[in-house]
C-alpha cells in the first residue's frame, strides 16, 4: 500500500492535506499518437489508459481511507480532478483532437520539414480556445477551470469548505 508522505508534515503540525488524483491521461493528445481507432472511446480518448487511471485513483482513494484512521486529527481531502461533479475534467479533455494545440510531428518551438513543407510549431494566438498547449500540459484557460472547480469544493471528498478559509474571487 502507498505510504502517505504527509505523515512527516502531520508530525510538524500539518492538519489539512489536499491529495489530487490522476487526471484522465488517456485524453492527452500526445498519448493518443498512433493509437488505432479501436483503442479510442466515443470522445476520442484511450480506453486502456483511462481504465488504468480509474484503477490508480481507486487505489489512491482506498489508501487515503486507511490513512485517515492513523491520523485522526487530520483532514485528508481526496481531490477528484478526473470526474468532479461541477466541471468534469474528463469532459474538459474530451475530444482531444478538436481542443488541443498539438502537432505530433513537430513540437512547440521547433521547425521541421513535413511533406516537403517547412513547418514551425508556435503557441496559439488564442490559447483560451484550447485545453492543451503541447499535448500534455494544460493551458492557462483549462487550469483556471479546474482550479475554480477545486476551490468551489466540487472535487473534494469529503467536501472541504474552502470558502470558510479563503476569500475566493472569480479568476479572470
Q: What are the domain boundaries of the chain? A: 6-99+139-165
pLDDT digits (tens, 9 = 90+) for 85-108: 333 555 666 655 555 566 677 777
Q: Which of 21, 25, 23, 26 is CA-nearest to residue 63?
A: 21
Helix residue ranges, H only, 71-116: 89-93
pLDDT digits (tens, 9 = 90+) for 72-89: 888 888 988 776 433 355
pLDDT digits (tens, 9 = 90+) for 5-45: 677 888 889 888 889 898 888 888 888 888 999 999 888 88
Q: pTM here?
A: 0.74
For cell 477551470, the residue is 145
Question: Do 133 and 139 form a contact (C-beta atoms < 8 A)?
Answer: yes
How would you label 80-109 residue by residue, b for 16+ Cβ within 10 Å and e otherwise? bbbebeebbbbebbbebeebbbbbeebebe
Helix residue ranges, H only, 71-119: 89-93
Which residues are paired to 119 by β-bridges? 112
pLDDT at position 100, please?
59
Question: Do 48 and 39 form a contact (C-beta atoms < 8 A)?
Answer: yes
Amino acid at each position: 500500500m502507498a505510504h502517505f508522505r504527509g505523515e512527516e508534515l502531520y508530525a510538524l503540525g500539518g492538519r489539512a492535506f489536499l491529495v489530487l488524483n490522476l487526471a484522465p491521461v488517456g485524453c492527452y493528445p500526445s498519448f493518443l499518437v498512433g493509437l488505432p481507432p479501436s483503442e479510442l472511446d466515443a470522445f476520442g480518448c484511450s480506453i486502456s489508459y483511462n481504465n488504468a487511471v480509474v484503477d490508480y485513483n481507486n487505489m489512491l482513494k482506498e489508501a487515503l481511507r486507511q490513512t485517515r484512521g492513523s491520523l485522526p486529527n487530520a483532514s485528508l481531502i481526496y481531490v477528484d480532478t478526473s470526474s468532479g461533479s461541477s466541471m468534469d475534467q474528463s469532459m474538459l479533455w474530451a475530444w482531444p483532437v478538436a481542443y488541443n494545440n498539438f502537432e505530433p510531428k513537430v513540437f512547440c518551438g521547433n521547425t521541421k520539414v513535413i511533406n516537403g513543407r517547412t513547418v514551425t510549431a508556435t503557441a496559439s494566438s488564442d490559447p483560451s480556445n484550447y485545453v492543451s498547449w503541447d499535448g500534455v500540459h494544460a493551458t492557462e484557460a483549462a487550469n483556471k477551470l479546474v482550479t475554480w472547480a477545486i476551490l468551489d469544493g466540487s472535487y473534494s471528498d469529503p467536501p472541504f469548505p474552502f470558502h470558510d478559509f479563503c476569500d475566493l474571487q472569480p479568476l479572470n
